[in-house]
Amino acid sequence: MESTSDQSISESSSGFLSDQPSCTKPSVIVIGAGIAGLAAARALQGASFKVTLLESRDRVGGRILTDYSFGFPVDMGASWLHGASKDNPLASLIARLGLPLYRTSGDDSVLYDHDLESYALFDMEGLQICQHLVAKVGEVFEALLEETKKVREEFAEDMSVMKAFSIVMERRPELRQEGLAHKVLQWYLCRLEGWFAADADNISVQSWDEEELLEGGHGLMVRGYAPVVTSLAEGLDIRLSHRVRKVVRRRHHGVRVITEDAKIFDADAAVIAAPLGVLKANLIKFEPRLPDWKEQAIADLAVGNENKIALFFETVFWPNVEFLGVVAPTSYSCSYFLNLHKATGHPVLVYMPAGRLANDIEHLSDEAAASFAVLQLKRILPNATEPLKFLVSHWGTDKSSLGCYTYDAVGKSHDLYERLRTPVETLFFAGEATCHNFPGTVHGAFATGLLAASECRKQFVEHFKELNLQPAMADDISNELLPLQISRM
Protein backbone atom coordinates (compact mmCIF):
# COMPACT_ATOMS: atom_id res chain seq x y z
CA MET A 1 0.00 0.00 0.00
CA GLU A 2 2.85 2.38 0.74
CA SER A 3 5.68 3.48 -1.50
CA THR A 4 8.18 6.27 -1.12
CA SER A 5 8.65 7.85 -4.50
CA ASP A 6 6.39 9.05 -7.25
CA GLN A 7 8.12 6.61 -9.63
CA SER A 8 7.40 3.41 -7.72
CA ILE A 9 3.75 3.49 -6.92
CA SER A 10 2.18 0.40 -5.41
CA GLU A 11 -1.22 -0.47 -6.82
CA SER A 12 -2.85 -2.04 -3.83
CA SER A 13 -6.31 -0.56 -4.04
CA SER A 14 -8.85 -3.18 -4.98
CA GLY A 15 -9.86 -1.56 -8.25
CA PHE A 16 -13.28 -0.63 -6.92
CA LEU A 17 -14.11 1.50 -9.93
CA SER A 18 -13.47 -1.27 -12.47
CA ASP A 19 -16.48 -3.18 -13.80
CA GLN A 20 -15.77 -6.48 -12.10
CA PRO A 21 -16.94 -7.09 -8.53
CA SER A 22 -13.93 -7.51 -6.31
CA CYS A 23 -13.20 -10.19 -3.76
CA THR A 24 -10.19 -8.51 -2.12
CA LYS A 25 -10.96 -6.33 0.88
CA PRO A 26 -11.79 -2.69 0.11
CA SER A 27 -9.13 -0.34 1.43
CA VAL A 28 -9.44 3.07 3.01
CA ILE A 29 -7.02 5.72 4.19
CA VAL A 30 -8.11 7.82 7.12
CA ILE A 31 -6.37 11.19 7.44
CA GLY A 32 -6.09 12.39 11.04
CA ALA A 33 -6.10 10.32 14.23
CA GLY A 34 -8.30 12.62 16.31
CA ILE A 35 -11.48 11.17 17.79
CA ALA A 36 -13.31 11.43 14.42
CA GLY A 37 -10.59 9.65 12.44
CA LEU A 38 -10.18 7.00 15.12
CA ALA A 39 -13.93 6.33 15.23
CA ALA A 40 -14.09 6.10 11.42
CA ALA A 41 -11.04 3.83 11.23
CA ARG A 42 -12.29 1.54 13.95
CA ALA A 43 -15.75 1.24 12.48
CA LEU A 44 -14.37 0.54 8.98
CA GLN A 45 -11.91 -2.02 10.28
CA GLY A 46 -14.82 -3.69 12.08
CA ALA A 47 -16.67 -3.67 8.75
CA SER A 48 -13.82 -5.67 7.10
CA PHE A 49 -12.05 -2.78 5.37
CA LYS A 50 -8.26 -2.62 5.19
CA VAL A 51 -7.64 0.64 7.05
CA THR A 52 -4.51 2.80 7.24
CA LEU A 53 -4.60 5.88 9.44
CA LEU A 54 -2.15 8.70 8.63
CA GLU A 55 -1.46 11.14 11.44
CA SER A 56 0.77 14.23 11.21
CA ARG A 57 1.70 14.36 14.90
CA ASP A 58 3.71 11.83 16.87
CA ARG A 59 0.64 11.01 18.95
CA VAL A 60 -3.03 10.21 18.49
CA GLY A 61 -5.95 12.23 19.89
CA GLY A 62 -5.63 15.57 18.07
CA ARG A 63 -7.47 18.21 20.07
CA ILE A 64 -7.77 15.68 22.87
CA LEU A 65 -4.45 15.93 24.67
CA THR A 66 -4.03 14.64 28.19
CA ASP A 67 -0.68 15.70 29.62
CA TYR A 68 0.90 13.62 32.41
CA SER A 69 3.99 15.71 33.11
CA PHE A 70 2.63 16.97 36.47
CA GLY A 71 2.45 13.32 37.54
CA PHE A 72 -1.31 13.09 36.97
CA PRO A 73 -3.61 13.71 33.99
CA VAL A 74 -4.39 17.27 32.87
CA ASP A 75 -6.42 17.84 29.71
CA MET A 76 -4.92 20.60 27.57
CA GLY A 77 -7.59 20.22 24.89
CA ALA A 78 -11.10 18.89 25.48
CA SER A 79 -11.99 18.08 29.06
CA TRP A 80 -15.79 18.01 29.35
CA LEU A 81 -18.33 15.53 28.12
CA HIS A 82 -21.08 17.91 27.03
CA GLY A 83 -24.31 16.06 27.71
CA ALA A 84 -23.44 13.61 30.48
CA SER A 85 -26.25 11.17 29.85
CA LYS A 86 -26.90 7.91 28.04
CA ASP A 87 -27.95 9.87 24.94
CA ASN A 88 -24.37 10.96 24.38
CA PRO A 89 -22.76 8.98 21.54
CA LEU A 90 -19.69 8.51 23.76
CA ALA A 91 -21.55 7.49 26.91
CA SER A 92 -21.31 3.73 26.45
CA LEU A 93 -17.57 3.83 25.74
CA ILE A 94 -16.84 6.12 28.71
CA ALA A 95 -19.01 3.97 30.97
CA ARG A 96 -17.37 0.76 29.78
CA LEU A 97 -13.93 2.23 30.42
CA GLY A 98 -15.11 3.07 33.96
CA LEU A 99 -14.07 6.72 33.59
CA PRO A 100 -15.58 8.95 36.27
CA LEU A 101 -17.12 12.33 35.49
CA TYR A 102 -17.50 15.38 37.72
CA ARG A 103 -20.55 17.36 36.72
CA THR A 104 -19.86 21.11 36.80
CA SER A 105 -23.26 22.14 35.48
CA GLY A 106 -26.79 20.89 35.02
CA ASP A 107 -28.89 21.46 31.91
CA ASP A 108 -29.69 24.88 30.44
CA SER A 109 -27.13 26.95 32.29
CA VAL A 110 -26.39 30.34 30.79
CA LEU A 111 -22.73 29.49 31.49
CA TYR A 112 -22.95 26.19 29.56
CA ASP A 113 -20.37 24.00 31.30
CA HIS A 114 -20.77 25.73 34.66
CA ASP A 115 -23.67 26.82 36.79
CA LEU A 116 -23.76 29.08 39.80
CA GLU A 117 -23.50 26.31 42.41
CA SER A 118 -19.82 26.68 43.25
CA TYR A 119 -17.81 29.72 42.22
CA ALA A 120 -16.15 32.93 43.33
CA LEU A 121 -16.08 36.09 41.21
CA PHE A 122 -13.85 39.02 42.09
CA ASP A 123 -13.25 42.50 40.78
CA MET A 124 -9.78 43.66 39.76
CA GLU A 125 -9.16 44.98 43.27
CA GLY A 126 -9.69 41.53 44.74
CA LEU A 127 -13.10 42.19 46.26
CA GLN A 128 -15.43 39.22 46.02
CA ILE A 129 -18.70 39.99 44.28
CA CYS A 130 -21.84 39.09 46.14
CA GLN A 131 -23.68 36.11 44.72
CA HIS A 132 -26.96 37.98 44.62
CA LEU A 133 -25.51 40.50 42.14
CA VAL A 134 -23.96 37.73 40.01
CA ALA A 135 -27.28 35.85 39.83
CA LYS A 136 -29.19 39.07 39.03
CA VAL A 137 -26.85 40.04 36.21
CA GLY A 138 -27.07 36.44 34.95
CA GLU A 139 -30.80 36.96 34.53
CA VAL A 140 -30.17 40.23 32.66
CA PHE A 141 -27.72 38.42 30.38
CA GLU A 142 -30.33 35.74 29.65
CA ALA A 143 -32.90 38.43 28.92
CA LEU A 144 -30.45 40.11 26.54
CA LEU A 145 -29.88 36.86 24.68
CA GLU A 146 -33.62 36.32 24.44
CA GLU A 147 -34.11 39.83 23.04
CA THR A 148 -31.45 39.26 20.36
CA LYS A 149 -33.78 36.59 18.94
CA LYS A 150 -36.38 39.30 18.28
CA VAL A 151 -33.73 41.47 16.63
CA ARG A 152 -32.69 38.71 14.25
CA GLU A 153 -36.30 38.12 13.23
CA GLU A 154 -36.63 41.79 12.28
CA PHE A 155 -33.47 42.15 10.25
CA ALA A 156 -33.11 40.32 6.97
CA GLU A 157 -29.33 40.56 7.14
CA ASP A 158 -27.33 38.64 9.71
CA MET A 159 -25.29 40.60 12.27
CA SER A 160 -22.95 39.80 15.13
CA VAL A 161 -24.16 38.90 18.62
CA MET A 162 -22.37 42.09 19.77
CA LYS A 163 -24.27 44.30 17.34
CA ALA A 164 -27.57 42.66 18.31
CA PHE A 165 -26.74 43.34 21.99
CA SER A 166 -26.21 47.01 21.28
CA ILE A 167 -29.53 47.25 19.42
CA VAL A 168 -31.27 45.58 22.39
CA MET A 169 -29.59 47.98 24.84
CA GLU A 170 -30.81 50.95 22.80
CA ARG A 171 -34.36 49.65 22.94
CA ARG A 172 -34.35 48.36 26.49
CA PRO A 173 -32.26 50.83 28.50
CA GLU A 174 -33.30 49.06 31.73
CA LEU A 175 -31.12 46.12 30.64
CA ARG A 176 -28.02 48.33 30.48
CA GLN A 177 -25.74 47.76 33.46
CA GLU A 178 -23.53 50.29 35.21
CA GLY A 179 -20.45 50.04 37.43
CA LEU A 180 -19.82 46.63 38.96
CA ALA A 181 -22.91 45.11 37.35
CA HIS A 182 -21.57 46.15 33.92
CA LYS A 183 -18.32 44.31 34.68
CA VAL A 184 -20.20 41.19 35.76
CA LEU A 185 -22.17 41.37 32.51
CA GLN A 186 -18.87 41.52 30.60
CA TRP A 187 -17.79 38.39 32.45
CA TYR A 188 -20.90 36.53 31.25
CA LEU A 189 -20.09 37.69 27.74
CA CYS A 190 -16.52 36.46 28.21
CA ARG A 191 -17.82 32.99 29.10
CA LEU A 192 -20.11 32.94 26.05
CA GLU A 193 -17.07 33.87 23.98
CA GLY A 194 -15.22 31.01 25.69
CA TRP A 195 -17.89 28.54 24.68
CA PHE A 196 -17.67 29.57 21.02
CA ALA A 197 -13.94 30.35 21.21
CA ALA A 198 -14.67 33.61 19.37
CA ASP A 199 -15.39 37.25 20.16
CA ALA A 200 -19.02 38.31 20.23
CA ASP A 201 -18.42 40.72 17.33
CA ASN A 202 -17.62 37.74 15.08
CA ILE A 203 -20.38 35.32 16.11
CA SER A 204 -23.52 35.14 13.96
CA VAL A 205 -26.71 36.11 15.77
CA GLN A 206 -28.69 34.03 13.26
CA SER A 207 -26.88 30.80 14.07
CA TRP A 208 -25.27 31.02 17.50
CA ASP A 209 -27.95 28.84 19.10
CA GLU A 210 -28.42 26.33 16.27
CA GLU A 211 -26.31 23.65 17.93
CA GLU A 212 -28.04 21.00 20.00
CA LEU A 213 -27.25 20.61 23.69
CA LEU A 214 -27.70 17.08 24.93
CA GLU A 215 -29.33 16.49 28.30
CA GLY A 216 -27.28 15.58 31.34
CA GLY A 217 -25.32 18.76 31.92
CA HIS A 218 -21.55 18.99 31.52
CA GLY A 219 -19.21 16.42 33.05
CA LEU A 220 -15.45 16.90 33.50
CA MET A 221 -13.39 13.83 32.60
CA VAL A 222 -11.74 13.38 36.01
CA ARG A 223 -9.00 11.08 34.70
CA GLY A 224 -8.65 12.94 31.42
CA TYR A 225 -9.90 12.07 27.93
CA ALA A 226 -6.79 10.04 26.95
CA PRO A 227 -8.17 6.58 27.81
CA VAL A 228 -10.99 7.17 25.31
CA VAL A 229 -8.63 7.76 22.39
CA THR A 230 -6.18 5.07 23.52
CA SER A 231 -8.94 2.48 23.55
CA LEU A 232 -10.19 3.53 20.11
CA ALA A 233 -6.65 3.41 18.69
CA GLU A 234 -5.99 -0.16 19.85
CA GLY A 235 -5.34 -2.60 17.02
CA LEU A 236 -5.42 0.01 14.23
CA ASP A 237 -2.67 0.50 11.64
CA ILE A 238 -1.71 4.06 12.59
CA ARG A 239 1.26 5.76 10.94
CA LEU A 240 2.35 8.59 13.24
CA SER A 241 4.39 11.55 11.93
CA HIS A 242 2.81 11.13 8.49
CA ARG A 243 1.66 14.61 7.46
CA VAL A 244 -0.55 14.41 4.38
CA ARG A 245 0.02 17.14 1.81
CA LYS A 246 -1.93 15.88 -1.20
CA VAL A 247 -5.04 13.82 -1.91
CA VAL A 248 -5.57 12.71 -5.49
CA ARG A 249 -8.85 11.25 -6.73
CA ARG A 250 -7.93 8.77 -9.43
CA ARG A 251 -10.13 7.74 -12.29
CA HIS A 252 -9.95 3.99 -11.86
CA HIS A 253 -7.98 3.39 -8.72
CA GLY A 254 -9.77 5.24 -5.94
CA VAL A 255 -7.55 7.60 -4.04
CA ARG A 256 -3.84 8.34 -3.78
CA VAL A 257 -2.56 10.12 -0.68
CA ILE A 258 0.90 11.69 -0.53
CA THR A 259 2.68 12.74 2.64
CA GLU A 260 5.08 15.66 3.05
CA ASP A 261 8.04 13.29 2.86
CA ALA A 262 6.71 11.89 -0.44
CA LYS A 263 5.34 8.60 0.85
CA ILE A 264 2.50 7.39 -1.32
CA PHE A 265 -0.57 5.48 -0.15
CA ASP A 266 -3.23 4.13 -2.48
CA ALA A 267 -6.69 2.98 -1.46
CA ASP A 268 -10.25 2.67 -2.68
CA ALA A 269 -11.43 5.60 -0.56
CA ALA A 270 -10.28 8.15 1.99
CA VAL A 271 -11.82 9.70 5.08
CA ILE A 272 -10.59 13.26 5.60
CA ALA A 273 -10.68 13.81 9.36
CA ALA A 274 -8.14 16.65 9.51
CA PRO A 275 -9.20 19.87 11.31
CA LEU A 276 -11.01 22.67 9.50
CA GLY A 277 -8.09 25.02 10.32
CA VAL A 278 -5.77 22.77 8.32
CA LEU A 279 -8.18 22.62 5.37
CA LYS A 280 -8.70 26.40 5.44
CA ALA A 281 -4.93 26.97 5.30
CA ASN A 282 -4.77 24.71 2.22
CA LEU A 283 -2.15 22.51 3.88
CA ILE A 284 -3.72 19.52 2.13
CA LYS A 285 -4.03 19.96 -1.63
CA PHE A 286 -6.81 18.15 -3.47
CA GLU A 287 -6.41 16.95 -7.07
CA PRO A 288 -8.66 17.55 -8.89
CA ARG A 289 -9.77 20.52 -6.79
CA LEU A 290 -12.74 19.97 -4.50
CA PRO A 291 -16.02 21.21 -5.98
CA ASP A 292 -16.81 24.90 -5.48
CA TRP A 293 -19.54 24.22 -2.90
CA LYS A 294 -17.04 22.28 -0.77
CA GLU A 295 -14.28 24.88 -1.09
CA GLN A 296 -16.81 27.55 -0.18
CA ALA A 297 -17.87 25.64 2.94
CA ILE A 298 -14.23 25.38 4.00
CA ALA A 299 -13.75 29.10 3.42
CA ASP A 300 -16.97 30.21 5.12
CA LEU A 301 -16.94 28.14 8.30
CA ALA A 302 -14.93 29.93 10.97
CA VAL A 303 -12.40 28.52 13.42
CA GLY A 304 -12.01 30.08 16.84
CA ASN A 305 -9.29 29.84 19.44
CA GLU A 306 -9.18 28.86 23.07
CA ASN A 307 -6.07 27.92 25.02
CA LYS A 308 -5.29 26.49 28.41
CA ILE A 309 -2.58 27.52 30.82
CA ALA A 310 -2.42 24.89 33.56
CA LEU A 311 -0.73 26.04 36.78
CA PHE A 312 0.43 23.38 39.23
CA PHE A 313 0.91 24.74 42.76
CA GLU A 314 2.46 23.20 45.84
CA THR A 315 -0.71 23.66 47.85
CA VAL A 316 -4.18 25.05 47.43
CA PHE A 317 -4.43 28.73 48.49
CA TRP A 318 -7.69 29.53 46.71
CA PRO A 319 -11.34 29.13 47.75
CA ASN A 320 -12.84 25.63 47.52
CA VAL A 321 -15.05 26.36 44.50
CA GLU A 322 -15.29 24.97 40.96
CA PHE A 323 -14.19 28.14 39.23
CA LEU A 324 -12.74 31.56 39.94
CA GLY A 325 -13.44 34.60 37.80
CA VAL A 326 -12.21 38.16 37.50
CA VAL A 327 -14.67 40.75 36.19
CA ALA A 328 -13.51 43.78 34.18
CA PRO A 329 -14.87 46.63 32.03
CA THR A 330 -14.48 44.58 28.83
CA SER A 331 -14.91 40.88 28.16
CA TYR A 332 -11.34 40.88 26.77
CA SER A 333 -9.92 41.73 30.20
CA CYS A 334 -12.06 39.30 32.20
CA SER A 335 -10.52 36.05 33.45
CA TYR A 336 -11.68 32.54 34.16
CA PHE A 337 -9.86 29.78 36.09
CA LEU A 338 -11.08 26.21 36.36
CA ASN A 339 -10.20 24.73 39.77
CA LEU A 340 -9.15 21.15 39.02
CA HIS A 341 -8.68 20.49 42.74
CA LYS A 342 -12.43 20.32 43.17
CA ALA A 343 -12.83 17.47 40.68
CA THR A 344 -9.47 15.69 40.89
CA GLY A 345 -7.88 16.58 44.24
CA HIS A 346 -4.78 18.01 42.50
CA PRO A 347 -3.69 21.60 43.25
CA VAL A 348 -4.10 22.90 39.68
CA LEU A 349 -5.82 25.95 38.26
CA VAL A 350 -6.42 26.17 34.52
CA TYR A 351 -6.61 29.67 33.03
CA MET A 352 -8.61 29.64 29.78
CA PRO A 353 -8.48 32.64 27.45
CA ALA A 354 -10.53 32.55 24.25
CA GLY A 355 -10.96 34.49 21.01
CA ARG A 356 -8.69 37.51 20.42
CA LEU A 357 -7.19 37.23 23.92
CA ALA A 358 -6.18 33.59 23.23
CA ASN A 359 -4.55 34.67 19.95
CA ASP A 360 -2.67 37.52 21.64
CA ILE A 361 -1.41 35.30 24.47
CA GLU A 362 -0.36 32.65 21.96
CA HIS A 363 2.23 35.08 20.61
CA LEU A 364 3.97 35.20 24.01
CA SER A 365 6.61 32.75 25.18
CA ASP A 366 5.26 29.99 27.44
CA GLU A 367 6.94 31.65 30.44
CA ALA A 368 5.34 35.01 29.65
CA ALA A 369 1.95 33.35 29.06
CA ALA A 370 2.13 31.59 32.45
CA SER A 371 3.23 34.85 34.15
CA PHE A 372 0.26 36.62 32.56
CA ALA A 373 -2.10 33.98 33.99
CA VAL A 374 -0.46 34.24 37.44
CA LEU A 375 -0.77 38.04 37.28
CA GLN A 376 -4.53 37.71 36.74
CA LEU A 377 -4.67 35.37 39.72
CA LYS A 378 -2.68 37.75 41.94
CA ARG A 379 -5.18 40.50 41.21
CA ILE A 380 -7.77 38.53 43.15
CA LEU A 381 -5.57 36.52 45.50
CA PRO A 382 -2.55 38.71 46.34
CA ASN A 383 -1.00 35.91 48.40
CA ALA A 384 -0.95 33.53 45.44
CA THR A 385 2.29 31.54 45.30
CA GLU A 386 4.32 30.93 42.14
CA PRO A 387 3.40 27.67 40.37
CA LEU A 388 5.80 24.72 40.64
CA LYS A 389 5.19 23.89 36.98
CA PHE A 390 3.00 25.07 34.14
CA LEU A 391 1.70 23.89 30.78
CA VAL A 392 0.62 26.12 27.88
CA SER A 393 -1.39 25.03 24.81
CA HIS A 394 -1.00 26.54 21.33
CA TRP A 395 -4.07 25.38 19.42
CA GLY A 396 -4.21 28.47 17.22
CA THR A 397 -0.69 28.21 15.80
CA ASP A 398 -0.02 24.45 15.93
CA LYS A 399 -0.02 23.50 12.25
CA SER A 400 -1.86 20.27 13.03
CA SER A 401 -4.87 22.20 14.33
CA LEU A 402 -4.70 25.92 13.39
CA GLY A 403 -7.56 26.73 15.69
CA CYS A 404 -9.57 25.35 18.48
CA TYR A 405 -12.98 24.56 17.02
CA THR A 406 -15.55 25.80 14.53
CA TYR A 407 -18.14 28.53 15.06
CA ASP A 408 -20.77 30.28 12.95
CA ALA A 409 -19.43 33.52 11.50
CA VAL A 410 -21.64 36.51 10.69
CA GLY A 411 -23.52 36.12 7.39
CA LYS A 412 -22.76 32.39 7.02
CA SER A 413 -25.35 29.65 7.18
CA HIS A 414 -25.36 26.83 9.73
CA ASP A 415 -25.91 24.44 6.77
CA LEU A 416 -22.20 24.74 6.02
CA TYR A 417 -21.40 22.01 8.55
CA GLU A 418 -23.49 19.56 6.51
CA ARG A 419 -21.90 20.76 3.28
CA LEU A 420 -18.46 20.14 4.72
CA ARG A 421 -19.55 16.62 5.69
CA THR A 422 -21.08 15.68 2.33
CA PRO A 423 -18.85 13.15 0.52
CA VAL A 424 -17.16 13.92 -2.80
CA GLU A 425 -17.02 10.67 -4.79
CA THR A 426 -14.73 8.40 -2.77
CA LEU A 427 -13.73 11.12 -0.30
CA PHE A 428 -15.63 11.12 2.98
CA PHE A 429 -15.36 13.95 5.50
CA ALA A 430 -15.44 13.73 9.29
CA GLY A 431 -14.52 15.87 12.29
CA GLU A 432 -16.14 18.42 14.58
CA ALA A 433 -16.52 20.94 11.75
CA THR A 434 -18.72 18.47 9.83
CA CYS A 435 -21.16 18.09 12.71
CA HIS A 436 -24.34 20.07 12.21
CA ASN A 437 -25.84 19.21 15.62
CA PHE A 438 -22.83 19.26 17.96
CA PRO A 439 -20.03 21.28 16.38
CA GLY A 440 -16.93 21.93 18.44
CA THR A 441 -17.37 18.89 20.65
CA VAL A 442 -15.73 15.52 21.18
CA HIS A 443 -18.96 13.56 20.96
CA GLY A 444 -19.95 15.44 17.78
CA ALA A 445 -16.62 14.64 16.14
CA PHE A 446 -16.91 11.00 17.22
CA ALA A 447 -20.41 10.75 15.72
CA THR A 448 -19.21 12.13 12.37
CA GLY A 449 -16.45 9.51 12.26
CA LEU A 450 -19.03 6.75 12.62
CA LEU A 451 -21.26 8.40 10.03
CA ALA A 452 -18.44 8.75 7.49
CA ALA A 453 -17.61 5.06 8.01
CA SER A 454 -21.20 4.06 7.53
CA GLU A 455 -21.52 6.08 4.28
CA CYS A 456 -18.24 4.71 3.00
CA ARG A 457 -19.38 1.15 3.67
CA LYS A 458 -22.69 1.80 1.93
CA GLN A 459 -20.85 2.95 -1.18
CA PHE A 460 -18.85 -0.29 -1.26
CA VAL A 461 -21.36 -2.84 -0.10
CA GLU A 462 -22.85 -3.57 -3.53
CA HIS A 463 -19.51 -4.01 -5.19
CA PHE A 464 -18.10 -6.28 -2.48
CA LYS A 465 -21.20 -8.45 -2.06
CA GLU A 466 -19.18 -11.66 -1.74
CA LEU A 467 -17.25 -10.25 1.20
CA ASN A 468 -20.39 -9.61 3.25
CA LEU A 469 -19.07 -6.32 4.68
CA GLN A 470 -20.27 -5.88 8.28
CA PRO A 471 -22.24 -2.79 9.34
CA ALA A 472 -19.79 0.05 9.91
CA MET A 473 -20.38 0.24 13.64
CA ALA A 474 -17.77 -1.85 15.33
CA ASP A 475 -19.20 -4.00 18.14
CA ASP A 476 -16.97 -2.41 20.74
CA ILE A 477 -18.36 1.08 20.11
CA SER A 478 -22.00 0.12 19.95
CA ASN A 479 -24.70 1.53 22.21
CA GLU A 480 -24.45 -0.93 25.04
CA LEU A 481 -26.18 0.66 28.05
CA LEU A 482 -23.98 0.96 31.13
CA PRO A 483 -24.51 3.81 33.58
CA LEU A 484 -22.05 6.71 33.64
CA GLN A 485 -20.22 7.31 36.93
CA ILE A 486 -21.03 10.91 37.79
CA SER A 487 -20.26 12.84 40.95
CA ARG A 488 -21.87 16.18 41.95
CA MET A 489 -25.34 15.20 40.70
Ligand X SMILES: Cc1cc2nc3c(=O)[nH]c(=O)nc-3n(C[C@H](O)[C@H](O)[C@H](O)COP(=O)(O)OP(=O)(O)OC[C@H]3O[C@@H](n4cnc5c(N)ncnc54)[C@H](O)[C@@H]3O)c2cc1C
Binding site for ligand SPE (CB under 6 A): 113, 194-196, 211, 306, 352, 405, 439-441
Q: Which does 217 bind (CB under 5 to 8 A by kind): ligand X, ligand SPE, none?
A: none
Q: How far is the CB of 119 from ligand SPE (least distance, A)?
A: 11
Output 114 or 183, the one with its CB closest to ligand X.
Answer: 114
Q: Applying CB under 6 A, does 283 fall inside the site for ligand X?
A: yes
Using CB under 6 A as the binding criterion, the count of chain residues that bind ligand X stands at 41
Give how far the C-alpha of residue 381 lies from the chain's centroid of Cα atoms, to the nearest Å: 31
Q: Applying CB under 6 A, does 269 fall inside the site for ligand X?
A: no
Q: How far is the CB of 236 from ligand X (least distance, A)?
A: 13
Q: Which does 196 bind (CB under 5 to 8 A by kind): ligand X, ligand SPE, none?
A: ligand SPE
Q: How far is the CB of 450 from ligand SPE (least distance, A)?
A: 19
Angle between helices 355-362 and 366-380 (to 10 degrees): 130
Q: Which does 77 bind (CB under 5 to 8 A by kind): ligand X, ligand SPE, none?
A: ligand X
Distance (Å, whole) CA 110 – CA 23: 55
Q: Applying CB under 6 A, does 64 fall inside the site for ligand X?
A: yes
Q: Which does 395 bind (CB under 5 to 8 A by kind): ligand SPE, ligand X, none?
A: ligand X
**Element (H or E) spanning 344, and its range?**
helix 340-344
Residue 485 exposed, middle or buried by CB count within 10 Å (0-12, 13-18, 19+): middle
Eight-state DSSP code of residue 473: S
**Residue in 428, 394, 88, 413 with CA at minimum distance from that of residue 274:** 428
Q: Applying CB under 6 A, does 193 fall inside the site for ligand X?
A: no
Q: How far is the CB of 298 from ligand X (least distance, A)?
A: 14
Length of the chain, in residues? 489
Q: Applying CB under 6 A, does 445 fall inside the site for ligand X?
A: yes
What DSSP assignment string belongs to 50-87? EEEEE-SSSSSBTT--EE-TTSS-EESS--EEES-STT
Q: How far is the CB of 79 from ligand SPE (least distance, A)?
A: 7
Output 113 or 455, the one with its CB closest to ligand SPE.
Answer: 113
Output 46 or 431, the one with its CB closest to ligand SPE.
Answer: 431
Q: Applying CB under 6 A, does 74 fall inside the site for ligand X?
A: no
**Element (H or E) spanning 350, and its range?**
strand 348-351
Question: Residue 427: CB partners within 8 Å, gap ≥ 6?
Answer: 247, 249, 255, 269, 270, 271, 272, 286
Q: Is 409 helix (H, G, I), strand (E, B) or coil?
A: strand
Q: How far is the CB of 436 from ligand SPE (least distance, A)?
A: 11
Q: Are strands 119-122 and 264-267 parallel, antiparallel or unpaired?
A: unpaired
Q: Are strands 2-3 and 264-267 parallel, antiparallel or unpaired?
A: antiparallel
Q: Which does 34 bind (CB under 5 to 8 A by kind): ligand SPE, ligand X, none?
A: ligand X
Output 194 or 347, the one with its CB closest to ligand SPE.
Answer: 194
Distance (Å, whole) CA 73 – CA 71: 7
Residue facing ligand SPE at closest CB distance: 440
Q: How far is the CB of 227 from ligand SPE (least distance, A)?
A: 19
Choose which of 158, 266, 362, 432 interacts with ligand X (CB under 6 A): 432
Number of Cβ within a 10 Å radius of residue 370:
22
Q: How far is the CB of 99 from ligand SPE (least distance, A)?
A: 18
Q: How far is the CB of 444 from ligand SPE (least distance, A)?
A: 8
Q: Applying CB under 6 A, does 51 fall inside the site for ligand X?
A: no
CB 257 within 8 A of CB 216: no
Output 265 or 351, the one with its CB closest to ligand SPE.
Answer: 351
Q: In this structure, which amino acid lies at residue 443?
A: H
Question: Residue 8: CB partners within 8 Å, gap ≥ 6?
Answer: none
Q: Which residues bind ligand X (CB under 6 A)?
A: 31-37, 54-57, 62-64, 77-80, 82, 243-244, 273-275, 278, 283-284, 306, 308, 393, 395, 400-401, 404-405, 431-432, 440-442, 445
